[in-house]
Amino acid sequence: MKVVAIGSKPFISGFRLSGVGGIEVSTPEELIKEVERSIVKGDVGLIILDEDLSKYVRDRLNRIRAERPIPLIYELSGIKLGKEKIDYRAALRKILGV
């Protein structure tokens, strides 16, 4: 299974250098479209997303996570200095409908 990074050019540059496929996007809507395309391919096991873009579409990502356990969709902090704290318990409750 493949690993794919989706995000801004600076975000995916490091992944490309390490041999991970990278898809450059500039808006949250483009990010969602590329996630959906990667899921359909069937050979992707892990999608790493640029949190600077994914935070705007997190509810949609959680719906995708709830529908499809594979590929694993992981959000990683981008190059900006500030980190956003994600409440994974709340996200899991949303995914499970609890």
Q: Is the pTM of this model over 0.75?
A: yes
pLDDT of residue 14: 84
Q: What pLDDT, on the 0 to 100 scale, is given for residue 79?
A: 64
Listed in sequence order, the residues at least 6 apart from 4 whose beta carbon sits closer than 8 Å to its beta carbon are 20, 21, 22, 23, 38, 44, 46, 47, 48
- Ranges of each domain in the chain: 2-96
3-class DSSP assignment, residue 6:
strand
Domain 2-96 has CATH 3.40.50.10580: yes
Question: Cα(18)–Cα(89) distance, rounded to whole angstroms?
Answer: 31
- What tens-digit pLDDT sequence spans the chain (98 residues)? 899 999 999 889 888 888 888 999 999 999 999 999 999 888 899 999 999 899 899 999 999 988 888 899 999 886 665 556 667 677 777 777 77
Q: How far apart are CA 78 and CA 10, in angstroms?
A: 8
